[in-house]
Each structure stands twice: as C-alpha cells, then as structure tokens.
Structure 1
Amino acid sequence: MSTMTPHSPRARGRLGLAAALIAGGAAAAVPTSAAAGTAGHGAAAPDPDFGPNVTFVDESWSTDEINEFLDSVNDEEEFSQARHQVFFEPGTYGSAAGADDPTTAENIVNAELGYYESVDGLGAAPGDVLINGAIHVEPHVECPDTPWACQGPGSLTRFWRSMGNLAFDPIQRPTAEDAARPFPAGVAAPHQMRFAVSQAAPLRRVDIRGDLTVFGRFGEYASGGYLANSRVAGTVQTGSQQQWYTRDSSVGTWDGGVWNMVFSGVDGAPATDFGPSADGGPVGVKTSLPTTPATREKPFLYRDDDGELRVFAPHARTGTRGPNWSIDEAAGESLSLDDFYVAQAGRDTAASINRQLRAGKHLILTPGVYELADPIRVKNPDTVVLGLGYASLTPTDGNAALVTADVPGIQIAGITVDANVPESEVLVQVGKKCPPSWTGGHGRRHGHPVADPADPTTLTDVFVRVGGPWTGKAVTSIEVNSDHVLLDHVWAWRADHGNGVGWEENTGAHGVVVNGDHVTATGLFVEHYQEEQTIWNGEDGRTVFYQSELPYDPPSQEAWTDGDRLGYASYRVADHVRRHEAVGLGVYSYFWNGVDIRTDSAIRTPTGTGISFRSMTSVFLNGSGGINHVVNDEGDPAVGSFAAPQVVSYPTD
C-alpha cells in the first residue's frame, strides 16, 4: 500500500486501488475521488468532493497499478447501475519503446473500456495526456474456438462508454481472460488501437498517433458510431461497421463502409460516392460535406496552469472543419468550479439540485443513478449541466427527468435518462410547449424572441432509454420546443432487449419530436419506438446523419398502422413544413415475430423548393416483412436478403 498521506488525491486514488485489490477487485469498493488539489501544483484550491465513483490517476501510478485499476472497473454488466469516471492528470503514461511489436512491448497502459465507463484527460489539449498503449473495446466473443463463425452479437451491444481529451501512441495486445483464448480478440497490428463499438460510445477530442480500427478482429457485427473533434494520423478501418458519423476531425486515410458513412468538416475524408457506380462497380455508401453547418463542442474538465480544476464551455460555431482544441477566449469560456454545484446520487434530490440551479450555479452530475420525483429544471441562460461517467436520471412519479426554460445557451452534456413507471409524457423537454391554440394545432411556435442563433441551447451525448434496466414507459423521449437548438450525438432507444421489454411493457411512441424552428441535429440515432421515431414540426430543421431501426416487435400489421398507411415512417417531416434539409439517413427493419409487417416509407416528407434530402437508404436486416419505399413513394423495397435500396436525392428534381 502507498505510504503517501491520505490528504493527497494521488494517495487517495492509490488507497482506493489497494482496497479494491484486497477485496478481490469488487467494483463498488474501487473508485475514490480527489478531495485536495493535485500534489505538485502549488497552492491550488482543493478539488471538490466528486464522490466515490470518480478516480484521478497521475504519474505516480505505475503502469501495473493503472492496468489493474482499469481492469477492476471495466466489467460492469450491460444494465448495471454502477458508473465510473476516470481522469488522467496531465502527463505521460507508459513507455513507447516497444511500439513496433505489441506482443513484446513492456510497461504499456493496456486495458479494455467497459460499460458505463468514461476515461478523460485533464489537459488543456489532448496531447497533454499521452498514453503509450491502448484503452480499447473488443466485441463480445460468442465462440472462442471459432470466432470467425460467430459474427453476432459481436459489437452490436457495445454501448455506453466513452473517451475524450487524450492522446494515444497505440500499442495494443489482449488483456485478462482474452489473452488465454486460442484466438484472442484483442490482437492488433503495430501502431493500431481498436474501438469496436455501437451506439452511445463517442470518441471526442482524441489524438490517435497511429491507426484506429472500429470493428472486431474477426469481422463481427458492429453498429456505430461517432467520432468528433479528433485526429487520427493513420488509417481508420471500419470493416463491418454498418454506419458511422465523423465530424470536424482529421484522418490520414478512411478505409471501408457498409451502408451509411457520413463525414462533415473532416480533413482527409473520402469523396462522396453514395449511390450506384457509373461504371457498374460497387455501390457507394459515403457522403462527405466540406463543413459542418453548426457545432458546439462538449464542455470538459481540465487542470489549468495553477493546478485548479476548471470547466471549459466551448462557444457555438458555424461552417466548421477540422479539429479545434483551443481553449482561448475566442473558443469558449473557462468556468471556475466555484460556479458549479457538484451533485452526488443518493445524496441529492431534484429539490436540492434545483435550489442550486435557481441560485445561478452550473451543475456537475457525478456518476450514479439519480431517482427524481420532479424534473431537474434548468431556467437560467448559459447554464452548463455536465454529467460524468454516464450519470443517469430516472423519473419516479410520471414526471420528466430534465426540462429547460426558453432561454439561450444552455449546454446539457453527458447524461443518460431512463424511463420508469408510471409513464412519463416526456423525459427530456427543451423549452415549454405552447398550447395548440397558440400554434395552429401542430405544437410549434412562429418565432421565439429569446432564442439566440449564435448561442443555441445544446444537447451533447444525451442518451435516453425506455426499458432495458427496468420497465419504463414514456410517450416521447426528447421534445424540443425552443428555437435555435443543437442536438449533437443523441441516441433515443426503446429497448429491444434487457429487462421490462415487450410491446405492452416498455411503451414509447416517439424518440425525438422537434417543434422549434432552426433546430440542427448532427449525429441523430433513434430506434425501436412504436410510432414515428422522429417527428419534425419546426421550420428550417437540419439533420446531418440519421440512424434508425424500426421496432422489432409489432405483433401484427393492425397493431402498427398509421391511419390508412402501412406502418409508421421513421423520419417524419410534418405536412405543414416548408423548409427542411437532411443528409445521410439510414432506416433499417427487423420484424422478428414471423409476420409480414411493412411500412410504406422509411421517410415521409412534404415536397417543395425548401425541402432537400440527400443520401438515403433503407435496409432489411433480418426477419420478415420490410420497408416498401425509402422516401415517400421513391426507392425500391427493402425486403429480404439484406436488401439496401438507395435514393441519392429527393425531390429528384
């Protein structure tokens, strides 16, 4: 055990590690937060108490200690209620000496990243925390003796984990029990790291000084993913990834794609080739936009030169391209932790949190599950709500989990919301919904005097689940009523597996409903809801990348019928809308009850000079039935044998 005094966060972190190892690595006994400024930073003020699920790692830890600790928090079950946030203090970890041969490399950081685990650096830039080694994600190994024969589930459920603000010199090899398998999943080529994930597993603000592969060693299924504000010096290999969205980044080379690969503002992105090849070659699946129309990077914790922990809250920007790691005044605002209330699950209620928000505090939600009898109410403009380690909110009385006022500049980032019972009308509500008499009956306003197009309210890495951990019911998961809102990497998921799952159990009509005007979504994932997955009522909406699976479990066509139309469209633009644009949309079907269930159209939209859709596909994954048209009455059926019809643009003229 360390001989350092318990007053140092380094000592407290290592004492937590020692306690875990003594207890056999029990996750609940492991993490311990820093309660004092990091040793060596001089007279810095003490860090706040982040509770038992946040751990700070610094250069006094040996690589063996780091690997043992990471291995002790990366084995949560898929629907565990445990949560983990790991911060690396600025420094260099591990040795690069063996980078050319990972099998013999010594003294490297090498661990897998597990469910509900976020690993982030505390530098002002990603390179301030350099990891010689790899923190990687491998597929589920179903058949250890013949892994190439078991492509599923692979990475299809590798959700709810993230990394950010880190630099890697990639040196990866198998870990723990994987190393003893006859064909280890964790083998990687020299200078390569694997991040074989699906939804809700973002990489942000990372600098990978080598190659990145985002699928399993043996080609297992994967359904990701999201990469933003990052640099990959070498090749990104996508292999079996069905879809992927990359935003405002730089890549050396991009290799591969299955159905829907979208890039916006990416240096080194492949050229757009979506649609049939003119020379009869392979069908193209890639769409590249030169810039991203609107962005606001995720707020993050960092250690300043004086040793103080601060939160950097980036400004919104338009027409962006390439990574931007600046923290100067032009890039955003550096906020003192004195201006934040640091909440802890089990201690704080909605009432205690809302008192602090009313007093003008920003909010940090430390890792844990927050049971809320009332919603968290964010009423002040430019408030930052930052979740750590997949902090999770669940309503307990049919209420919403989080609502905001109609004010500009609110930033909600890094939270997971779980529906509960009794049923909630909405789980996350941005702005107040107007009565039908004010809106002509469709729920949206005509102009919003307090919205600021230069300072949009932003939802970043916000993930909603209806069912999975337990039975949950919610009519709408996310409702956006304010104007000038940005949704950057949102996944709304009515669970298709887990606990409390069934057509009559985890009920949910809609994943995302947008009533406000000038709302932009970059990286929108919405799946398995029982009516329209996404409804767009507001004008001047924009979507860059959309991934959606229709519900797997309708018991009959009669149970899943929209008036006189078969089924429900996934992406629905309301008939009254005159201006809307979307690019890179994929809608998939897998009706598993053995009934020939159809939806007439994956996408329904009005037409006109202000409507523009590009790069759309619908895909038959498995099961029976399928999708009759891609958009309105255009596009071939997606029925049988992985059919994947495309429509390059709509309206076609």
Structure 2
Amino acid sequence: MTTTTVPAPTPARRRRWAPGIAAGAALVTALAASTAAQAAPTPDVDPRHPDFGPNVTIFGPDTPQDEIEATLDALHARQVDAEMSTDRYGVYFLPGSYGSVADPLQFNVGYYTEVAGLGAQPGDVEIDGAIEVYNRCLGDDANPNCIALVNFWRTLANLRLTTDGAGQDGCRASANFWAVSQAVSMRRLDVEGFVSLMDYCTAGPQYASGGFIADSRFDTAPLNGSQQQWLTRNSEMPSWSNAVWNQVFSGVVGAPDDSAFPDPPYTTLDETPVSREKPYLFVDDAGRYNVRVPAARTATRGVSWADGLTPGRTVPITDFFVAKPSDSVATINNALSRGKNLLLTPGVYDVAQTIKVKRADTVVLGMGHATLTAVGGAVPLEVADVPGAIVAGVSIDAGDVESPALLRVGKAHGNNHRSDAANPVTLSDVYFRVGGPHVGKVDVALEINADDVLVDHTWVWRGDHGVEGFTEGVNGDTDRWRTNTGRNGVVVNGDRVTATGLFVEHFQENNTVWNGEDGTVVLYQNELPYDPPTQADWTQPDGTLGWEGYKVADDVRRHALYGAGVYVFNQNNPSIVTENGFSVPDAPGVRLHHVMTVNLSAGTVRHVVNGVGDQVDDTNTGTPSFVVDYPAP
C-alpha cells in the first residue's frame, strides 16, 4: 500500500459562479523546453512500486477504513471549491473489498480528482458505500443557488459499487448522487443500487449539464433528473428515468425507445458505430502494474468486460516513461522517440515546446487530470498520422500567447495515408480549456487532420467565467471577448472521423467545423459564446447574423449527426441574433437526426438548421425547438 499525505483544506475566494484559486503552495513546476537541451536517459520503472509522485494515493484492502475516510474527506474539502486551482489528484484502490454493510465507505469527489480501481476487471475492486458529487450552493441564504452546472473535471472508473447511504440523513441515504456537468466521466463501473445524476437534496434550482457514462452496468435505472444532456455508451441498465433536452444512448442494453421524439427527447442507436474503451491501470496477481489497452471495435453493444478481460493488449508499466511536471519536454520526447509510452502523473505541466507522438500504437495516459498548459504560443501536443496512437485522461489549457492549436492530430495540409480504420487514433476523456484560471488564447483548440480518428468524450471549453480579473461588460464579458480568444473549438479535416460525446462551447466563430467526409457524431452539445459585445462582433463576413454552433463544409457529401443541441445565452448583449444553430450542405448523404436549439435566457436563434426550425428567444426560454430529421424524409 502506498499513501500520500493530503494537505489540509485552504480557503477559497469566489468570483461569479466559480471559486478562485485556492491559497497555499502551488503544485505547478515549470517544464523547461530548450531545443538545445540534452535529454537525459529515462529512468527504469519499478513494476511493483512505480513512483507516481506526491499527488497519487493508493489504498489497499488492509488500509484501515478510518484512514481512507479521513484522507478522502480532507482531499474533498480541499477540492470541493477548487474550480480554478492548479491541484490535481489521483486516488486508486488495489484489488480487494472496501466498506461493508455494517460500516459503508462513503466519500465525495471534488475538482481535478480521479478515483479508480486497479483491478483487471471492475469486480476486482468492490466498494460498499457511496462515491458522490453534490450540488454546490453558490448564493446566499436568501438565494442559495444550488447547482451542478460547474461541477467539472472528475473521473470515476473501474470498480464495483454497491450503493449504501446508511448513516446519512434520509434524503442523502436515498441514492448515490453524481451531480456533475462537463469533463466528468463514469467508465467501467458495475453498480448495484440507485444512482441519481441530479442532487435533489439541496435547495434549488438543482440544474445540471452533463455528462458521460461508458462501458458500465447498472442493476437499477439511473435517475437523469435535471441533466440537460447526457450520453450513455455501450452499457447495460434496466431502463432510463427521464430526459430534459437531449439524452443519447449508443449501444446500450436497456436503452429507451426513441420513437416518440421529441417527447421525450431520447436518441437511441442500437449499436455504436466505432468504439474503443479508455486504457486503464491495473495490478496483476504478481503485484506488477500494467496498462490495459482495449482494442477498437465496430458495431458494438453492451459492456466490453461481460465475458472476461476487455479485448486488447496489456502493456507493462516498464514500457512507460512515468513523467512528473518537473520533466522537460526534451526528456519526454526522448523517451517517446526511444519507444516508450507516456504516463503523465497528476500536476500542471507548462509546455513551451511540442510533445510529439510519432510512433504507431503509442499510449499517452494521464492520471488525476494531468494538465498541459501552452507557454509562448506552443502547440502542447501533436499526434502523427500513425495507426493506433491513443491519448487519454489529459487536459490541455491555452496560455497567454496565442497557440495555433492545443492538440493537432496529423499534419496540417499533409497527405494522410497511414491511418487504419481498424486501429484508429483515439482520444478518450481529453479536455481543452481557453481562459478560466488565467488568460488563454488559441486559434483552433482541437485540429484533426488525419483520417480514421475516434474521439470518445471530449469537452472543448472557451471559459465563460474565471478568475482573470475582467471587469468591462456584463460580468467582465467584454474584456473576456477581447482577451480570451479562440476562433474554433474543433476543426476536422480528416475523413472517417467519429466522435462519441462531443461537447464544444463558447468559441468566437463556428464552434465546430467539419471539413472531412464520412464523419459521424453521436451526441453534440454546444453553448454559443455568452460574451459578444455587439452584433457586429457576432456577424459573419458575408453578413450572416451569428456563427453556427456546428458547421459541415459546403463541399461535404456524407456526414451523420445523432442527438445534438445548440444553446444560446447572450448575457453580455441579449439583443444579439444568430440565424442558425447548425449549417450543413444540402446533399443526400448528409443527415442530421434529432437536433435542437434552446434559449437559456438571453439572445435569439432564428432557426435550428438551414432555415428550418422555430425561433428560440426570451419568449420561450427553456423550451427547445426540435427538428426530428434534416433533411426531412
């Protein structure tokens, strides 16, 4: 068993919805990036006792439960309000049983925290108790404003949970609450008992804007509650409880029928067209650490582990370079060039020179929401057009000098001929941020130039709030518009790119631009930017009012989109108008299925797609305009 000391909670200051950066020692260590530096040889990794750094805690079944609870309670107290902090943590459980009917193990999960089992199968780690996220109440006694809308950046994975709220008050004991929004994933879970994705125990309004479940099994139907949108992929459950605007199911045994769309607004695909489960750490029977790398599959349904170990390959930890924030990019690139995979331990890495993944089947796996921050306009991460490269569990932040991109897959304007549809480049739980804890500037956050790429859950966020100190405009939005700049969130130039769970928000032109052929997206969620100061700032060069939240290029002939929403909240200037939420070419092979727009309280979108669909504005706030199919059958 390895444990780390969790620092005591520190006070936080608040701004808008969000708390400020927690006081206390920062965990950031600058990542020197001199191209002239001579990279030192990478050290050997102890397969039974790898050094994951000070922000990883590993519990064993012999750890006293009061020690586990005290450690996790202290960590949660530190992270519960740390939305804009630089702290990152990983919490892992070795195979075995934790908690019991007599004494359930109960704890909450805060910002930038990953909780996962270290078994080869979810059932190898069994927890009897509760692993929860509650609403945050961000107002005062008169208006408590209890919401989950900013419950971002946390992970729960690879364990069996028997929910048990014994000892909590009556409402809290009624469910295991997982009230979250974007950049939060539940993967490889085997759950016995009731899970609610809404925290109905606090005062209102209890809003939530999630979220993502994959490769998980539930014996009781989860309660969607107030979740505005949600994607459940390749899972099993008896049924689903309800919907708000956009609930999507792909390859889910027990998914609801969607024939009555939009009442309720369900979208159901019997099979997931392309899938690959996220790589995960596990400890084998000899006590050695490994990473299981699942294989890519097509036309899948249900969990990957129903008949045993998830199909794929096992990579020993000794084949990884275990990086710390103090390691230089030269050292990291040297390790990658020598055939190592890359494990990024929790922390914030300042990256002034691109980390380059050039070799087929390379795995880049982040622990505890490890974060790469661009320095000096660098592109923090580039993945070559090679089969099977995987980036998972990594967050990437823009810096205060504009970067052309934060993650680039394949060479811009290159000849992409090395892709492999059977072994796609895969991005799993990769998150992007422009602004928030500091000023951020980027042209395109995620640029995909290669063919046959799979994006399995991403949140690409130009921050609508933060602690940068902006003052001009509503909540500083005019300053934000001029300072935290980002043209597009996602630009796809490659062919046969698939995205399952594409969340893109607040960019200053089209949030997503799809130029490649044969693209497929299963669940798209977008909020248009809150902060344009004037209509002129939000008008295209040809005079079109506003930029569509999702644009498929005019020359594309084949594209499929399932379950998508564009939301508007022009709080800085409610008079602003956007003509269309979506723009696509009128081609027989371009099909949109179950798309909508909605006004959150300010601004106007005249049509859903290409002049079709009713207007949403302040006369119908919260009531979506739906289009079942475009073009109509």
TM-score normalised by length of structure 2 = 0.89
| Higher-RCO chain (CA-CA 8 Å, sequence separation at least 6) | 2
- Which whole-Å CA distance do the structure 1 matches of 2:280 and 2:219 have between them? 23
- Which whole-Å CA distance do the structure 1 matches of 2:50 and 2:605 have between them? 53
Match of 1:79 in 2: 84
1:27 is displaced (CA, Å) by: 9.0
Task: From 357, 360, 370, give the equivalent of 1:391.
Answer: 370
CA contact (8 A) 2:220 2:238 kept: yes
Matched, 1:203 2:186: yes
CA contact (8 A) 1:221 1:240 kept: yes
CA contact (8 A) 2:492 2:513 kept: yes
- Which whole-Å CA distance do the structure 2 matches of 1:153 and 1:509 have between them? 32
Q: What one-letter code is carried by the residue in structure 2 that aligns with 1:196?
A: A
Q: What one-letter code is carried by the residue in structure 1 that aligns with 2:172?
A: V
Change in 2 beyond 3 A, CA 1:516/1:306? same
1:166 is displaced (CA, Å) by: 1.0
1:47 is displaced (CA, Å) by: 2.1
Match of 2:590 in 1: 611
Q: What one-letter code is carried by the residue in structure 2 that aligns with 1:517?
A: D
CA contact (8 A) 1:20 1:27 kept: no
- SS of residue in 2 equivalent to 1:390: coil
Match of 1:187 in 2: 172
Match of 1:271 in 2: 257
Match of 1:164 in 2: 157
Match of 1:134 in 2: 130
1:252 is displaced (CA, Å) by: 1.9
CA contact (8 A) 2:47 2:316 kept: no
1:402 is displaced (CA, Å) by: 0.2
- SS of residue in 2 equivalent to 1:188: helix
Match of 2:532 in 1: 554
Q: Residues 150-180 of structure 1, C-alpha deviation per residue, up to 9 Å, x if partnerless?
A: 5x450000000111001111013688xxx8x
Give the ranges of 4+ consecutive aligned residues of structure 1 lying more than 3 Å apart after TM superposition: 19-24, 26-30, 142-146, 273-276, 326-330
Superposition RMSD on alpha carbons, in Å?
A: 2.3
- Which whole-Å CA distance do the structure 2 matches of 1:461 and 1:68 have between them? 29
Match of 1:650 in 2: 630
Task: From 516, 520, 525, give the equivalent of 1:542.
Answer: 520
Match of 1:58 in 2: 60
Q: 1:140-159 to 2 correspondence within 5 Å?
A: 140-142=136-138, 150=144, 152=145, 154-159=147-152
- Which whole-Å CA distance do the structure 2 matches of 1:615 and 1:310 have between them? 41
- Which whole-Å CA distance do the structure 2 matches of 1:424 and 1:20 have between them? 34
- SS of residue in 1 equivalent to 2:486: coil
Change in 2 beyond 3 A, CA 1:630/1:390? same
1:251 is displaced (CA, Å) by: 1.0
- SS of residue in 1 equivalent to 2:172: coil
- Which whole-Å CA distance do the structure 2 matches of 1:271 and 1:50 have between them? 45
| Segment of structure 1 superposing worse, 323-332 or 232-241 | 323-332
Q: Residues 583-603 of structure 1, C-alpha deviation per residue, up to 9 Å, x if partnerless?
A: 100110000024411111100
Match of 2:462 in 1: 494
1:253 is displaced (CA, Å) by: 2.3
Change in 2 beyond 3 A, CA 1:197/1:566? same
Q: What one-letter code is carried by the residue in structure 2 that aligns with 1:137?
A: V
Q: What one-letter code is carried by the residue in structure 1 that aligns with 2:56?
A: V
- SS of residue in 2 equivalent to 1:301: strand
Match of 2:95 in 1: 90
1:327 is displaced (CA, Å) by: 9.4
Matched, 1:482 2:461: no
Q: What one-letter code is carried by the residue in structure 2 that aligns with 1:232?
A: F
- SS of residue in 1 equivalent to 2:66: helix
Task: From 199, 210, 225, give the equivalent of 1:224.
Answer: 210
Q: 1:407-426 to 2 correspondence within 5 Å?
A: 407-426=386-405
1:342 is displaced (CA, Å) by: 0.2
CA contact (8 A) 1:379 1:407 kept: yes
- Which whole-Å CA distance do the structure 1 matches of 2:550 and 2:9 have between them? 52
Change in 2 beyond 3 A, CA 1:370/1:217? same
Match of 2:20 in 1: none
CA contact (8 A) 1:463 1:490 kept: yes
Aligned residues: 586
Q: Give unmatched runs, 5+ long, in structure 2.
A: 12-22, 28-45, 471-479
Task: From 314, 320, 337, give the equivalent of 1:358.
Answer: 337
Match of 2:606 in 1: 628
Match of 2:473 in 1: none
Q: Residues 473-511 of structure 1, C-alpha deviation per residue, up to 9 Å, x if partnerless?
A: 001000000000000001100000013360011100100
Task: From 451, 459, 466, give the equivalent of 2:434.
Answer: 466
CA contact (8 A) 1:384 1:412 kept: yes
Q: Residues 119-162 of structure 1, C-alpha deviation per residue, up to 9 Å, x if partnerless?
A: 0000111111111101100001246868xx65x45000000011
- Which whole-Å CA distance do the structure 2 matches of 1:23 and 1:466 have between them? 26
- Which whole-Å CA distance do the structure 1 matches of 2:396 and 2:553 have between them? 27
Q: What one-letter code is carried by the residue in structure 1 that aligns with 2:149?
A: L
CA contact (8 A) 1:273 1:284 kept: no
Q: Residues 442-487 of structure 1, C-alpha deviation per residue, up to 9 Å, x if partnerless?
A: xxx6xx3211000000000000000011001001000000000000
- Which whole-Å CA distance do the structure 2 matches of 1:452 and 1:310 have between them? 25
- SS of residue in 2 equivalent to 1:394: strand
Q: 1:171-182 to 2 correspondence within 5 Å?
A: 171-172=164-165
- SS of residue in 2 equivalent to 1:568: coil
Matched, 1:67 2:60: no
Matched, 1:300 2:280: yes
Change in 2 beyond 3 A, CA 1:222/1:23? closer
Change in 2 beyond 3 A, CA 1:512/1:327? farther
Q: What one-letter code is carried by the residue in structure 1 that aligns with 2:368?
A: G
Q: What one-letter code is carried by the residue in structure 1 that aligns with 2:503?
A: F
Percent identity over the alignment is 45
- Which whole-Å CA distance do the structure 2 matches of 1:174 and 1:120 have between them? 24
